Amino acid sequence: MKLLRTSLAFGMVCFTATLPAQESKPATTVRILKDRSARGTLADRRELVRGDTGKWNDTATLQHVPPIERKPQGLSLDNWAEQLAEKKSPATPGDDNWLIFRSRQLDDNDRVWLEKIERRGNEFTVTLNEAVWKGRYFKSFTGYEVIAVNLGKLPPGDYSVKWIVNPLVFERFEDPGRPQDNWPKDERPGKSKSVELTVAFSVQEKRK
C-alpha cells in the first residue's frame, strides 16, 4: 500500500510538472510593425468616420465578420459592421476570417495603428497603439477609426481574439506640415490603463 501511495504521488508530481508546458504554447508572430514609417499598413482596410457626419462611438468595439467580399458594394465598413452587430457569422474552412475594430471617439490629432498580431494555438492577440495628442493647438473635429484585419483561412475549431489597445501620448508630429497621414514623433506610454476587447468565433465544416 505504501508503495502504491508513493507511485501515485510521484505520478501526480510528474503530471503537474508537465501541465504548464502543455498549456503554454509558443506564440507565433503573424504580423509585426518593423518600420515606424510603415505605421498604418498592418491593417487590411481603414476608414475614418468623422463626428460631423452625426455618428459617434463612445466605446471601442470588436467583432468577427464574414469575408469582406460579401459586403454590399458602396456600403462603408462602419455601416456594414453595424448591420452585422447582432448576427453570428460562423465561418467555413474556405472562408477568410475578418475582424472589424472600431475605436472610441478621438480627436483629429489622435492616431491609432496596429503594432503586432500573434497567434498561440487557436488564440490570437492583436496589439493596437492609441496615441492621444497632448500638444498646444486645438482640435478641428472628432471621429473614430474603423480597422479591418484578415486572419486568413482557418481549420475547423473554436477561436478567440484578444485585442489590446495600448495607450500612448505625444506632443509632436514627424512632419507638422503634412495632412492626416502624419504620425507621432515622440509617443510615450500614457497614464491610462490598456483596454482589452475579446471576441470568439467558430469555423465549421459545411453541412452536406
pLDDT in tens, 119-147: 999 999 999 999 999 988 766 789 999 99
In a domain, residue 198? The reply is yes
In a domain, residue 138? The reply is yes
pLDDT greater at residue 164 or residue 21: 164
In a domain, residue 137? The reply is yes
Does the pLDDT value for residue 44 go beyond 60? yes
In a domain, residue 134? The reply is yes
For position 181, what pLDDT does the model report?
72
pLDDT greater at residue 46 or residue 137: 46
**Domains in the chain: how many in total?**
1
Range of the domain at 165: 27-203
Question: What's the mean pLDDT in 39-53?
Answer: 94
In a domain, residue 68? The reply is yes
Nearest to 98 by CA among 66, 73, 128, 121: 66
For position 5, what pLDDT does the model report?
45
pTM for the complete prediction? 0.85
